[in-house]
Amino acid sequence: MSLNDDGKLKPPPHLSPSSLSTFEQCPLKFKFSKIDLIPDKPGKEALMGNFVHDVLENLYKLPWMERTVDAARQIAKEYWHSTWSEPVVSLLRREEEIRNFRWQAWFCIENLWKVEDPKSVHPVGLESELNHSLGGVVLKGYIDRYTKMDGGGGGIVISDYKTGKTPRAEWLSDKFEQLRIYAAIMQEIQLFPVSTLELIYLKDGVKFTEDVTADSLAATVGRISNIKAMVDDRCETGVFEPVKSRLCDWCSYKNICPAWSK
């Protein structure tokens, strides 16, 4: 636990799109993770997402003419043995579960060709770190990929890969919020404005896009400032309330949460 000199809780030095969402989901989970620094052990879904992201990042580092399914298969094989087999095996253990994990991950990778031709995509940035202040709030995150449209004159397209379930239509707007944060940052640090956001859901092989507007970015910056104010207030009082929901079943902190100890 991090404390100020006055004995009050110290807010984390920066926030991220995921930590902002965590606070909105459950302030106590945010405290456990970002202030108490209790490790949040990644589950199967997080490991699969990281594995697939590694493969696609390295696929797009290849010259455009070499971005084939066979190349992706070779990259996946290399990364499985060098990086991901050990954590996955230690988590899943059963051979059938491990085999299913690898098949599901490969289906996600192969489905990329359903939504775009990798040979026609020319990234400017891959897994690019952003560390910047918006509305007085220090933010940190990583953009999966961004490109320039129309030879650079049509703005920047920010793309994000998702390996989870495709959301229902009424929840889709919330899923773009992470990319709106990145767009707001890039508007300040890039020569070209961000014009389009892309969510690529690899499990089902579908892509969603959203046009960037001044109003949507202003609303995002306002949300960030409001959440930071609420985090600071709770650090002053020391009270981070738990919020019970269906998401609790996937929470690493459920066994220490007072909402579930009764």
Amino acid 189: pLDDT: 84
31 falls within a domain: no
Work out the pLDDT band at 242, boundaries 50, 70, 90: very high
143 falls within a domain: no
16 falls within a domain: no
**Which own/partner pairs from 95-104 qualify as long-range (CB within 8 Å, at least 24 positions apart)?**
101/44, 101/47, 101/48, 104/48, 104/203
Work out the pLDDT band at 137, boundaries 50, 70, 90: very high
User: Into how many domains does the chain fold?
Assistant: 1
Provide CB contacts within 8 A for 258, sequence distance 6+.
28, 242
- Rg (alpha carbons) of the chain, rounded to whole number: 20
Structural domain harbouring 63 = 44-118
Report pLDDT digits (tens) over 150-203: 654 568 999 999 999 999 888 899 999 999 999 999 988 876 789 999 999 999
Rounded to whole angstroms, the Cα distance separating 224 from 37 reads 21
H-helix segments, 3-129: 17-25, 27-30, 44-59, 69-79, 85-92, 95-110, 112-115
Report pLDDT digits (tens) over 29-63: 999 999 999 988 888 999 999 999 999 999 999 99
Amino acid 1: pLDDT: 55
144 falls within a domain: no
136 falls within a domain: no
Report pLDDT digits (tens) over 106-133: 999 999 999 999 999 999 999 999 999 9
CA distances to 161, 180, 216, 261 from 166, rounded to whole Å, are 11, 19, 22, 33
Q: Is the model's pTM score more than 0.85? A: yes
Query: Across the strands, what pairs with 156?
Result: 148, 194
With CA atoms as reference, report the closest residue to 155 among 198, 201, 200. Answer: 198
